[in-house]
């Protein structure tokens, strides 16, 4: 009988293909032997005797000694099953193997559920000595039912939300030094002032650009630092102003009713000035409305100018009515005798930004700050610091009061210049009360 030979390929075969060829070779050999056997003793086609030796590949050194069986018809003794198996294994092993195909991106586990790869036929060995081959059906794409391999969800988080990217932005902003406080620095790190930024799943407010009295964040830039500061540039009734008696509306006016008592309070370092928060029953009554004294702060030099003259320091006393209207009383100071109220505040001066010091009970007497002359100037203006809110009723005392040189020097050491320049009067009426 002529042995069945396996087809050769130019490259090594995968092991599963070798096993498939082996099983097919055994089936063909079994059928050929059954056809050559005598009719009186037919061999069952479905049974193959077990080989005398284990079906293993001979050692590598003996592979070259296995020759293909000769094809002399009628004179050659049929080969045994074991010999045929060994010969087939030798021939397969001697054939160069084909490397397995490279798995593409579409065949990764992430895409198996939607792009199945057809499977090769597999061998199923029954418990009996007989061998049969079964071809497995190609896998079907998962539709409707639950797939064994679920696709990996794709992240939709942007690079700006990535923690590493945010850490880089923070480090870059820190490296910019003093420039980090300007509008250009906010643009350089990809953020806009006042715009919330995302950190993971939490919303984080971007640091606000500080306003100042000089530099890139000075008064000329206040309106551009934040949208709510726009009035600082677009307002038509801004404060402070330069007052001139030649253009002021002179005439009689109601007297100011000032009812200030010894009070409690505290002084805080805001980073731009010293602010005194007042507690107690302190009132200003004007134009039929009573305003409660809320706070006062200090400027050096004074922001108001009268008849072309500047003053060493100014104090603004902010009052608020029950309906939320604001009234500001400005007191001007020039070097001279020590001021009793200034001395009270300087005694408890804070040591750092945001540091707050409380006065002793009844230790604040605002009345000692006021001049003897009750005359004043009156006009509508605004707050002199951002957001520069307008609609504030202003009263500026005409007569300045005094403070000592040492009192002025202490404040100047803390705040060399914290005054806003004067603003256009425009079409406002300025009254000069007689």
pLDDT of residue 72: 43
Q: Tens of pLDDT along 289-329? A: 999 999 999 999 999 999 999 999 999 999 999 999 999 99
Range in 73-82, 195-204, 370-379 the model is least confident about: 195-204
Name 278's bridge partners: 265
Q: Check: CB of residue 271 under 8 Å from CB of residue 353.
A: yes
The candidate with the shortest Cα–Cα distance to 194, out of 167, 152, 229, is: 229
Does 85 score more than 80 pLDDT? no
d(CA 223, CA 234): 8
Residue 188 covered by a domain:
no
Give the residue carrying structure tokens 């939607």: 114
**CA dihedral of residues 84, 86, 91, 94 (deg, nearest 10):** -170
The residue with greater pLDDT, 199 or 240, is 240
The candidate with the shortest Cα–Cα distance to 262, out of 299, 293, 297, is: 293
Does 165 score more than 80 pLDDT? no
The share of the chain scoring above pLDDT 90, in percent, equals 51
CA-only gyration radius of the chain, Å: 49
Domain boundary (81, 109, 135) is at 135
Distances 122 to 21, 47, 133, 348 between C-alpha atoms, Å: 11, 20, 7, 92
Q: Tens of pLDDT along 108-124? A: 444 444 444 444 444 44
Domain range for 60 is 1-100+120-135
d(CA 190, CA 268): 35
Domain boundary (89, 108, 135) is at 135
Do residue 124 and residue 250 come from a single domain? Answer: no
Residue 376 covered by a domain:
yes
Range in 171-175, 182-186, 254-258, 390-394 the model is least confident about: 182-186
Do residue 275 and residue 126 come from a single domain? Answer: no
Residue 337 covered by a domain:
yes
The candidate with the shortest Cα–Cα distance to 285, out of 251, 259, 263, is: 259
Q: Look up the CATH number of the domain holding residue 347.
A: 3.10.200.10
pLDDT of residue 86: 72
* Number of domains the chain is built from: 2
Residue 159 covered by a domain:
no
pLDDT of residue 311: 98
Token pair, residue 50, equals: 């077990």
Do residue 416 and residue 299 come from a single domain? Answer: yes
Residue 160, CB half-sphere, CA atoms under 13 Å: how many? 8
Q: Which of 68-77, 90-99, 148-157, 352-361 is modeled with the greatest confidence?
A: 352-361
Instruction: Label residue 148 by pLDDT band (50, 70, 90).
Output: very low
Give the mean model confidence (pLDDT) for residues 133-147.
Answer: 45
Name 290's bridge partners: 285
Do residue 129 and residue 256 come from a single domain? Answer: no
Instruction: Label residue 8 by pLDDT band (50, 70, 90).
Output: very low
Q: Which of 16-30, 37-51, 397-411 is modeled with the greatest confidence?
A: 397-411
DSSP state of 433: E
The alpha carbon of 181 is separated from its chain's Cα centroid by a whole number of angstroms, namely 18
Residue 115 covered by a domain:
no
pLDDT of residue 87: 75
The residue with greater pLDDT, 186 or 291, is 291
Average pLDDT, the chain: 74
The residue with greater pLDDT, 353 or 42, is 353
Residue 151 covered by a domain:
no
Q: Check: CB of residue 186 under 8 Å from CB of residue 192.
A: yes
- Greatest C-alpha distance within the chain: 149
The residue with greater pLDDT, 408 or 128, is 408
Helix 15-36 and helix 81-94: axis angle, to 10°?
150
Residue 232 covered by a domain:
no
Residue 14 covered by a domain:
yes
The share of the chain scoring above pLDDT 70, in percent, equals 53
Give the mean model confidence (pLDDT) for residues 259-285.
Answer: 96
d(CA 270, CA 211): 12
Q: Check: CB of residue 135 under 8 Å from CB of residue 121.
A: yes
């Amino acid at each position: 009988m002529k042995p069945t030979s396996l087809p050769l390929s130019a490259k090594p075969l995968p092991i599963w293909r070798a096993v498939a060829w082996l099983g097919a070779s055994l089936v063909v050999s079994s059928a050929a032997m059954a056809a050559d056997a005598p009719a009186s003793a037919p061999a069952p086609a479905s049974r193959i005797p077990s080989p005398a030796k284990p079906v293993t590949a001979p050692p590598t050194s003996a592979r070259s000694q296995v020759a293909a069986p000769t094809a002399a018809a009628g004179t050659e003794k049929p080969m045994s099953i074991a010999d045929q198996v060994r010969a087939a294994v030798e021939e397969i092993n001697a054939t160069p193997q084909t490397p397995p195909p490279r798995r593409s991106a579409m065949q990764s586990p992430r895409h198996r559920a939607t792009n199945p790869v057809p499977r090769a036929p597999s061998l199923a060995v029954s418990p009996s000595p007989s061998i049969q081959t079964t071809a497995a059906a190609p896998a079907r794409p998962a539709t409707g039912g639950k797939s064994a391999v679920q696709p990996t969800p794709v992240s939709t988080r942007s690079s700006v939300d990535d923690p590493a990217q945010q850490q880089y932005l923070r480090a870059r902003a820190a490296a910019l030094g003093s420039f980090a406080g300007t509008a250009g620095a906010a643009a350089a790190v990809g953020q806009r002032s006042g715009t919330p930024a995302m950190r993971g799943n939490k919303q984080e407010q971007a640091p606000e650009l500080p306003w100042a009295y000089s530099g890139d964040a000075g008064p000329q830039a206040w309106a551009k630092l934040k949208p709510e500061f726009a009035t600082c540039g677009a307002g038509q009734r801004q404060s402070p102003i330069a007052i001139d008696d030649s253009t002021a509306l002179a005439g009689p006016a109601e007297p100011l009713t000032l009812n200030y008592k010894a009070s409690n309070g505290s002084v805080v370092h805001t980073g731009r000035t010293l602010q005194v928060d007042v507690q107690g029953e302190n009132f200003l009554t004007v134009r039929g409305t009573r305003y409660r004294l809320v706070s006062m702060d200090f400027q050096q030099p004074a922001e108001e100018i009268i008849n072309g003259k500047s003053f060493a320091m100014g104090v603004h006393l902010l009052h608020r009515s029950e309906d939320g209207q604001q009234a500001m009383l400005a007191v001007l100071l020039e070097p001279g005798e020590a001021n009793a109220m200034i001395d009270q505040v300087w005694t408890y001066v804070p040591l750092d930004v945001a540091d707050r010091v409380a006065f002793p009970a009844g230790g604040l007497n605002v009345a000692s700050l006021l001049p003897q002359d009750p005359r004043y100037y009156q006009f509508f203006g605004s707050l002199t610091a951002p957001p520069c809110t307008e609609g504030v009723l202003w009263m500026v005392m005409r007569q300045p009061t005094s403070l000592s040189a040492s009192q002025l020097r202490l404040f100047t050491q803390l705040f060399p210049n914290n005054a806003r320049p004067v603003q256009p009067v425009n079409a406002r009426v300025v009254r000069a009360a007689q």
